[in-house]
Amino acid sequence: MQPAPSHPLIARPPSRAAAPFLPMNRADMQALGWDLCDIILVTGDAYVDHPSFGMAIIGRVLEAAGFRVGIIAQPGWQNTADFERLGQPRLFFGVTAGNMDSMVNRYTADRRVRSDDAYTPDGAGGKRPDRSVIVYSQRLRQAFKDTPIVIGGIEASLRRIAHFDYWSGQVRRSALVDAKADLLVFGNAERQILDIARRLDSGERIESIDDLRGTALVRKATPPDWVEIDSTDIDTPGPVAPPANPYADEAERMDAGAPEPAGVVVRFYRQVPNARRAHSVIRLPAYEQVAADPVLYAHASRILHLESNPGNARALVQRHGDQEVWLNPPPLPLTTADMDAVYELPYARRPHPSYGDAHIPAYHMIRFSVAIQRGCFGGCTFCSITEHEGRIIQSRSEESVAREIETIRDTVPGFTGVISDLGGPTANMYRLHCKSRDIESACRRPSCVYPGICPNLNTDHAPLIRLYRRARSLKGIKKILIASGVRYDLATESPEYVKELATHHTGGYLKIAPEALSEGPLSKMMKPGMGSYYRFKELFDRYSREAGKEQYLIPYFIAAHPGTRDEDMLELALWLKKNGFRADQVQAFLPSPMATATAMYHSGRNPLKRITRRSESVVVPKAERTRRLHKAFLRYHDPANWPLLREALKRMGRADLIGNGKHHLIPAYQPVANRDRDQSRKPARLRAGSPRTRPMRTQHTR
């Protein structure tokens, strides 16, 4: 069985009234009658007091527990002045890069600096540093040497162990080590952050808080009462290093990848009695080893993902130099009552007044949306949701969602009666779960729906259908749209859900994500084949016609994903042309830290299977020209891409696709510059007579 939480998340009424906004400056503190804060949160985003912004949730949860919480949003990092604006907190600083990893936020998949930032007033770029968690923590340590620092959010969560960093092309150390923080909180952090605050408030020292689920810390050595298990005994990677040179001196043997630093002796156990399992820890290859050996990196990634189920995961440890980075098991999922309590806290649901009339794009995108669930059991290898939120679905009650819709209706400026989304990481996993809690607790599968839907998975969409009907029946609500991505292989298990979606909740377009067409990339993505897409399309088109609506599916695809050959992208381009799709924007694969596909990208091996030097090699389109070509295939209609495509088609022996007929992919002629600009401005058609396609996804860490 999944371990049960020991107490409700928010167990009692708050000891003080909620602040209109959490204070961002001394004037705000004085207005609340505070002389200091108990906890100060530092974030790379603008402060928007809305439950779609992680730092607002953490702040309000702590406030509900009786703590005085301040926020420092988007501080200047060139010195410590902004970090000192609220003074020294009584308990600790909490640090996050914001709702996105700062490197994903600042750079495109082609490593170009973005000119804008959706989480900043007026969308201005350059308001946060690279690797914000590390930089913010270093500045805080300069200003407040002895105050505890706790890092969290998606950036810290995905960098909790040694990880491949796409932007530097190297394996970097755990963010906990580089930030010199006291604790790292991974996953959704409400329960961990409350426990940390309460224990520090009771007089406990930060150094002694070493047993909380969902936290990582630095130790000098493994405690004597713990049993160590070598990760290679769990998932033997075979000969992972070349034989040692018997003539090399000690220093050379260490550089070649010796298993442990000199002087360290570790006793490993292959079998651990159940009575000792709670005090067993799996030793991953050291940072120095995975940094030097991509095969060992892929092995460590595989073990991390195998140990991700809160019901059976064990602690992990990875040596970094003379320090041990220790990861406790993942946090327990929130109960429905806890989810309701979190999302019904007294959020102002708007940006802090200090921003005046500034436009914050991310806020305007989500201000009329409602989160109904967390987590995703899809297991897509390129996506970071599972690594952060887990694969066990955490759902709110129907009553709680209805109350939030009414709150939006009654309090949010500019509301016109349209809810822009009822969703989460996916649109249609609400209340879906394993039919057996015992099976769920023992399961180590990375996905409940790949290669097919697990027979133990409850796929009943009836609760979600009831929620949709309840939501649109509320007074003053004109329309409920669904903007989160629909998992279409699940949706086809419930034709009634597809009918509900097409009849009432689609605004002309519905986005879904096949991501690829060919088996090569699909098998590395852990995505279903196109058969599921066609079954869903048939249902969606039928129910749209019955409702008298002209509606279209907008499919998203990723270019240059591991496992993708040039021939796969050509096949996709021909499919797009045949079906009349012309994408305005396309996305190349971006290797986000800790994702399984990132391990494929770095190692050229497939960590979905046991890793050895003779195991399956993965085609990885890394070269810049290859990545450009794969993107060009998705935008086959853009004249700017035709020279590159002509060259590629000739090289591939497919010059027959160059010409001016309908059966050709691209024309033989090249328009002059002004005609090229004119053609690029022509309306892109989904198919004959249909409206313009919407832009494809701009990032895939959904």
Contact 288, 220 (CB under 8 A): no
Question: DSSP 3-state assignment of 123?
Answer: helix
Contact 63, 91 (CB under 8 A): no
Contact 467, 372 (CB under 8 A): yes
**What's residue 278's pLDDT?**
78
Q: What DSSP string runs through 370-418? A: EE-EE------TT-SHHHHH-SS-EE--HHHHHHHHHHHHHHSTT--SE
Helix axes 336-343, 54-64, angle to 10 degrees: 100
Contact 171, 291 (CB under 8 A): yes
User: CB within 8 A of 360, min separation 6: which ones?
Assistant: 46, 48, 118, 119, 120, 121, 122, 123, 351
Structure tokens at 321: 């130099």
Contact 327, 219 (CB under 8 A): no
**What's residue 685's pLDDT?**
35
Please give the sequence-ordered ranges of beta strands (E in DSSP) within 120-226, or none if there are none: 149-151, 163-165, 170-172, 183-185, 215-219
**What's residue 151's pLDDT?**
98
CATH superfamily of 10-220+322-328: Cobalamin-binding domain (3.40.50.280)
User: CB within 8 A of 568, min separation 6: which ones?
Assistant: 516, 517, 518, 520, 521
**What's residue 673's pLDDT?**
66
Rg (CA), the chain: 26
pTM score of the predicted model: 0.90
**What's residue 688's pLDDT?**
31
**What's residue 684's pLDDT?**
37
Contact 518, 568 (CB under 8 A): yes
CB atoms closer than 10 angstroms to residue 54: 20
Would you place residue 678 in the very low, low, confident or very high pLDDT band (cuts 50, 70, 90)?
Answer: very low
CA 490/CA 454 separation, integer angstroms: 11
**What's residue 281's pLDDT?**
95
- Whether the predicted pLDDT of 253 surpasses 80: no
- Whether the predicted pLDDT of 264 surpasses 70: no
The H or E element containing residue 64 is helix 54-64
**What's residue 247's pLDDT?**
46
- Whether the predicted pLDDT of 19 surpasses 90: yes
Q: Give, as one character, the DSSP assignment of residue 701.
A: -
Among the residue ranges 172-176, 223-227, 274-278, the one predicted with the least confidence is 274-278
**96-118: per-residue pLDDT in tens?**
999 999 999 999 999 999 999 99
- Whether the predicted pLDDT of 202 surpasses 90: yes
Q: Give, as one character, the DSSP assignment of residue 642.
A: H
Contact 636, 645 (CB under 8 A): yes
**What's residue 5's pLDDT?**
63
Would you place residue 15 in the very low, low, confident or very high pLDDT band (cuts 50, 70, 90)?
Answer: low
Q: CA 402: distance to chain centroid?
A: 27
**What's residue 588's pLDDT?**
95
What average pLDDT does this structure show over 514-518? 96
User: CB within 8 A of 161, min separation 6: which ones?
Assistant: 174, 216, 284, 300, 304, 316, 318, 325, 327, 594
CA 462/CA 409 separation, integer angstroms: 26
CB atoms closer than 10 angstroms to residue 425: 23
Q: CA 607: distance to chain centroid?
A: 19
- Whether the predicted pLDDT of 131 surpasses 50: yes
Mean pLDDT (the chain, rounded): 90
**What's residue 646's pLDDT?**
97
Would you place residue 699 in the very low, low, confident or very high pLDDT band (cuts 50, 70, 90)?
Answer: very low
What average pLDDT does this structure show over 594-613? 93
Distances (CA, A) of 178 to 160, 162, 181: 11, 11, 8
**What's residue 272's pLDDT?**
61
- Whether the predicted pLDDT of 17 surpasses 90: no
Residues of the chain with CATH 3.40.50.280: 10-220+322-328
Q: Name which residue leads in pLDDT, 528 or 682.
A: 528
Share of the chain above pLDDT 90, in %: 83
- Whether the predicted pLDDT of 159 surpasses 90: yes
- Whether the predicted pLDDT of 443 surpasses 60: yes
